[in-house]
Structure formats: structure tokens, C-alpha cells
Structure 1
Amino acid sequence: MATSVPHTAYSPRVAIITGAAQGIGRETALRLAEDGLDVALNDIPSKTKALQGLVDEIKAKGRNSIFIVGDVSSEEDVKNIVSTTAEKLGSVDVMVANAGIGAAAELLEMEVAEFDRVIAINVRGVMLSYKYAAEQMVKQGRGGRIIGASSVLGKQGGPGFTAYSASKFAVRGMTQAAAKELAPHAITVNAYAPGVIKTDMINHPQDNELGGPGGVLKWRLGLQPDAPDADPSVIASIVSYLVKPEAYFITGQAIPVTGGVYME
């Protein structure tokens, strides 16, 4: 077992956020910049314009920022995201493995190719982000924070979300295992498990027929149209706390942020 690193040695300086061009990733990037961190942004090549705009916003807040395009399901891309961040911003102290895709299909209609696509991005992408960020953090020798994206559907499966639920349950398992493995290095590993968050991912053409934004998702989850929903800033606030030095005693958790829709 590795020699334990003192928790007091941890002081966050640089964060990587995958899937940063919009929604929860974008809001988290801005929040961490406001907290005083430099931020490396990642998303797929089609999001380049949005990434550059976000870099400019972060620099306007007085923090340094870069963007690195890449697909988190590609091992070489994730290696490049981490190594480029360490080279250009000086370290990797926080990894927010936020990138993911939604998928709604019942089991009897599920195509194997679609299932594999969801697992590749939502599970392999998180694993690779955890692995290579942790490798860099261990090398640095001063601890770190790793945070992944689970979901309320990773706490309790819902009809029509076979692949998505499977992927988000998997993130919980990886988070717990990694938290135990990395504890000797003063690296905490946690996840957030959002409920209905108002991002593009929850939009559906039939939403207005079911009460407005997120209506179809709420219906699929067995919720009323007026069930709680929230802006991405509520997730950013959870990440903001988890990366702080005083959060060293929280690890292996998938924290529900659901407005009370799901309670543990």
C-alpha cells in the first residue's frame, strides 16, 4: 500500500471538466473559475466554438483556461486531455468526468449498437477519466479530487432507460472502488446523481403536451409535471464544495441532487 499523503497537502489549482461546452459542464467550469481554479475544458470537435467562448469567459474572470477537443471513450484522447492540461496549466488537481449522453429506449426495443454507444461514453469515458487523472495526481503526490456524473437513474432504474440506468449504476460502482483504491494517495472520488436538471439533455418535442420543459422525462420517471427541477448551477455548487480542502472526509459517495424526488 502506498504511503498516505497528508490531507492538508491538498490545495486545488487546476481542474479538468469533460463535456464542458454546455449544461452542467459549462456551469461547473464557470463556478470553479470563480472559486479560483484554472480550468481545462473538454468536449467533442463540433463544440469547438462553444468551448472557445467559455475559455474567453473564464479568462475574463481572471483565471487561465484552455480547451482540448476529444472523445472521452477514446483512451488516446483522454490521455491527451490529461497530459496537455498538466503541461499547459501545470498540474491536474480536479477531474470532473461530466461527459455523457442520454438514451431512452425500452429493453424490448433496445438496439445493441445504441447500448454499446451509451456504455462507451458514460462508462468507459468515466473510467478513462478517473484512471488518467488519478495517474497524474499520484505522480504529483499531493492528493486530488475526482468527481463523476451518475444520476437519479443510477440510484433507481426507470422504464425506458435500460442503457442509461446501467451506465449510471456503473459510475456508482467505479466511484466506490476507486475511492478505496486511491484513499492512500489522499484522492477522494465522488459522484453527483442529479434529478431533473434543466439542460438540453432533458428536452423532448412533446414536452409542452406534458407540462413544459422536462415533461416527457418526468412522465417516464412517474413524476407529476410540477415535480421539482433545477438549473445546472445546483450541480456546480455540489462540485464546488467537493473540491475544497475541507471535503477530504467525503469519498465514495454518489450524492443525490433531486429536490426530494429520491431520498436515501
Structure 2
Amino acid sequence: MAGRMDGKVVFITGAARGQGRSHALRLAEEGADIIAVDICEAIPGVTAYEGATEEDLAETVRQVEALDRRIVAEQADVRDLARLKEVASTGVAELGGRLDGIVANAGIDIFNHWQDFTEEEFRTTIDINLVGVWHTVMAAAPTMLEAGNGGSIVLISSANGIKAGPFNVAYNASKFAVTGMAKSFAQEMGKDRIRVNFIHPGPVDTHMGQVLTAFEKLADDNPGIVSMLNTWLPDTFMQPREISNAVLYLLSDESSFTTGLSMAVDAGMSQY
């Protein structure tokens, strides 16, 4: 069934590539116009994979426009609330004055032994993965509230937001916190018909997914912990579209009575 997002506008962070680009394309396929945000630069401390670039964001624009949808794309750091508010306001104005969906997708991951994390690495992870999600909602949700037409917000947590993964203390902390924040937003925004749900992806075949190769080296002195990453389904890595399909459902009118939902799309990784 096509056209599930006809006439809707969605604000997406981390949209230059990976899951964020996939979400933008999947929603555009169903008729949505997109406000796309990405920092488009490397993050200090993130060494297992390279940062997104301006060219990556331009490619997202090209692919959305190839679907005959409109897109406003801007560089912005989710740690900068003022900048996010500016982009959200500009994008909404350019796309007709409405905002129907928010996808707080931007995030980073740094693997290390707990004792080897630096303060900068820990703070950077929390600032992007947790505070950045809060900034995203605070920057864009007021537009929904003012319009009085309801809306849908999807926060991207992680399977590590249900069951902590090893060598990932900062990431685990951030994703568990996103879960609590999402439930709080869902409780309070319900009276205004704004739904808030959250997704827990397992391993996804993106640049960020490459950090799992670091896991193997870290596990050399603690091999028993590897069993924590078992799944119930045979394929370890999912394509980003698997997560995007869940995002589409939660943003569409098909989920009009779904809020506060914790949705794991992780091949069973978090279930034991």
C-alpha cells in the first residue's frame, strides 16, 4: 500500500547516510517530504568508522529528489539546540508550514573496556546519543504542538537499550536513558495527540555497524562474553530498510493508537 505518508513532513537527524538516509528514502517512497540534518564531519574519539560528509548529505538529497519528493537538508550538530531550532523552523517554512513526524536518529558508538574510556569519550557519547535526542524533540516538537494536529515522534534507541552489550558502557547508558525519556514524552504528549515510540535496532549494516569488529579484539581477554551477542535468526546484520519499515509504521496513521511502544528490531538479540 503506497502513499502512507502523503502530505506529511518529517524531520530526521543523522540523515546523511546509513539508517538516517534509509529512513528518509523509505518515507519519501510513501509520499513524505523531508527535513534532513547531519553534522557531516568526524567526531573526536570515534575511530572505528569515518564520519559522514557533505557529499553524503548531498547524495541523500539527490535520492529523495529522485523520488519526486521535496527535501531541505542542512548541516547541524544535535548538540547545538539553537541550530536545530533554526533548521527545523526554516525547513517547516519551506515545506508548507507543517511538521508531522520526527525521527531522532543521530548517534555514535565507541567500543572500549570500561576502565579505558576517557571522560571526553563518555561525555561525547552522552551528549550526542542522549542530549542530542532531547534537543531534537525540543527543537521540532513545539511546531507540532502549536499546529494542534497531533503527530508522531520516533526515537532510535538500540538493542543495547534493553540488554546492555559488553565494552559499551557509554553507549549502553545513553540508550537506556533514551528509553526512559521516550516514555516520559509519550506520557505527557498524549493529551495533544502526539505519539512517541522508540525502536531498538540490532546490528545494522552501516558505517557505525563496523564497530563490532572492535568487539572481537576486546573480547580476547573475556571470550565468554561473546555469547551475549547471539540472535534467534541466522543473519547477524540487517539492512537499514528493516529499521526504516518500523519507522514508517510508527509515523504513519496505521499506528494512530500506538504510543509508548518499545519495538525491538534485532533478530532476538535483546530477548535473553
Q: Give TM-score, length-normalised by structure 2.
A: 0.85
Q: CA distance change for structure 1 residues 220 and 160 in 2, over 3 Å: closer, same or farther?
A: farther
CA contact (8 A) 1:21 1:54 kept: yes
Q: CA distance change for structure 1 residues 59 and 162 in 2, over 3 Å: closer, same or farther?
A: same
Alignment partner, residue 124 of structure 2: 117
CA contact (8 A) 1:197 1:230 kept: yes
Alignment partner, residue 18 of structure 1: 13
Q: Mapping of 1:209-228 within 5 angstroms?
A: 219=226, 221-223=228-230, 228=236
CA contact (8 A) 1:43 1:51 kept: yes
Q: CA distance change for structure 1 residues 239 and 222 in 2, over 3 Å: closer, same or farther?
A: closer
CA contact (8 A) 2:16 2:40 kept: no
Q: Matched residue of 1:167: which SS?
A: helix
- Provide Cα deviations, 1:150-189, integer angstroms capped at 9, x if missing partner: 0010101122110000000011001000001100111001
CA displacement at 1:146 relative to structure 2:
0.7
Q: Which amino acid aligns with 2:206?
A: T
Alignment partner, residue 89 of structure 1: 95
Alignment partner, residue 253 of structure 1: 261
CA contact (8 A) 1:159 1:220 kept: no
> What is the alpha-carbon distance in structure 1 between the residues aligned to residue 75 and residue 24 of structure 2?
15
Alignment partner, residue 195 of structure 2: 188
Q: Matched residue of 1:249: which SS?
A: coil
CA contact (8 A) 2:7 2:32 kept: yes
CA contact (8 A) 2:6 2:32 kept: no
Q: Work out the number of aligned pairs and report it.
A: 248
CA contact (8 A) 1:179 1:251 kept: yes
> What is the alpha-carbon distance in structure 2 between the residues aligned to residue 132 and residue 241 of structure 1?
23
Alignment partner, residue 50 of structure 1: 56
> What is the alpha-carbon distance in structure 2 between the residues aligned to residue 97 and residue 248 of structure 1?
19
> What is the alpha-carbon distance in structure 2 between the residues aligned to residue 227 and residue 246 of structure 1?
28
Shift >6 Å, 4+ stretches = none
Q: CA distance change for structure 1 residues 189 and 204 in 2, over 3 Å: closer, same or farther?
A: closer
> What is the alpha-carbon distance in structure 2 between the residues aligned to residue 12 and residue 97 of structure 1?
20
Q: Which stretch of structure 1 is more off in the superposition, 21-30 or 102-111?
A: 102-111
Gap regions ≥5 residues in structure 2: 42-52, 218-222
Equivalent of 2:210 in 189, 203, 213: 203
Equivalent of 1:79 in 85, 91, 97: 85
Q: Mapping of 1:13-162 within 5 angstroms?
A: 13-46=8-41, 47-90=53-96, 91-162=98-169
Q: Which amino acid aligns with 2:102?
A: M
> What is the alpha-carbon distance in structure 1 between the residues aligned to residue 158 and residue 56 of structure 2?
25
> What is the alpha-carbon distance in structure 2 between the residues aligned to residue 173 and residue 103 of structure 1?
22
CA contact (8 A) 2:229 2:269 kept: no
Q: Which amino acid aligns with 1:38?
A: D
> What is the alpha-carbon distance in structure 2 between the residues aligned to residue 136 and residue 57 of structure 1?
27
Identity, in percent, stands at 35
Q: Which amino acid aligns with 1:181?
A: E
